[in-house]
């Protein structure tokens, strides 16, 4: 009888302790790290962050600083912070295709493919007469659409 009471008490303690334990969540940075490896490295110099280096930032210092901060946050897999910097950059340079391409990639990595597609389409709409850059944006758009459907 004493043994049964001790077992019931032990089970009750374990259940109470497990109920008080913090909830466990999927590690988003691990998810993002694997998503980062899926990004292509074929960025055109006029349309976004160069994964392999060699980035050309605009002459506007405020915009350049925001893009550098966004790129740094992206590579650290801090995608929410990256999105905030890019949205600020978008307000400064609403006709800069590179901002929209970066936003498109962030949304793609976050699995928000509808928004990623919308940003890629906007980048295509504001891209100047650079056929090679437009081709790269179309490749990005095709990748997003392929992962969406």
Q: How far apart (Å, rounded) are the C-alpha atoms in residues 128 and 106? A: 22
At 49-79, the pLDDT tens digits run 555 456 677 888 899 899 889 888 888 889 9
| pLDDT at residue 3, rounded to an integer | 54
Please write down the HEC assignment for all residues of 68-133.
HHHHHHHHCCCHHHHHHHHHHHHHHCCCCHHHHHHHHHHHHHCCCHHHHHHHHHHHHHHCCCCHHH
Grade residue 7 by pLDDT with cuts at 50, 70 and 90.
low
143's tokens:
């990748």
Please check the confidence at residue 134 and state whether its pLDDT lies above 80: yes
- List domains and CATH numbers for the chain: 26-148 (1.25.40.10)
Higher confidence at residue 137 or residue 43? 137
Query: Mean pLDDT over all residues of the chain?
Result: 73
**What's the start-to-end Cα distance of the chain, in Å?**
62
Please check the confidence at residue 6 and state whether its pLDDT lies above 60: no
What's the predicted TM-score (pTM) here?
Answer: 0.67
**Cα distances (Å, whole numbers) of residue 14 to 1, 9, 20, 43:** 20, 9, 10, 53
Number of H helices, E strands in the chain: 7, 0
Mean pLDDT, range 128-132, rounded to an integer:
82
């Amino acid at each position: 009888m004493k043994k049964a009471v001790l077992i019931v008490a032990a089970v009750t303690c374990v259940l109470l302790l497990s109920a008080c334990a913090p909830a466990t969540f999927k590690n988003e940075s691990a998810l993002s790290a694997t998503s980062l490896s899926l990004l292509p490295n074929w960025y055109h110099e006029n349309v976004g962050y160069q994964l392999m280096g060699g980035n050309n930032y605009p002459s506007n210092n405020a915009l350049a600083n925001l893009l550098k901060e966004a790129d740094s946050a992206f590579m650290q897999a801090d995608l929410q912070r990256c999105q905030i910097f890019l949205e600020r950059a978008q307000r400064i340079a609403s006709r800069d295709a590179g901002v929209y391409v970066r936003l498109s990639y962030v949304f793609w990595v976050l699995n928000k493919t509808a928004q990623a597609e919308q940003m890629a389409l906007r980048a295509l709409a504001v891209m100047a007469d650079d056929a090679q850059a437009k081709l790269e944006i179309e490749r990005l758009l095709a990748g997003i659409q392929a992962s969406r459907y």
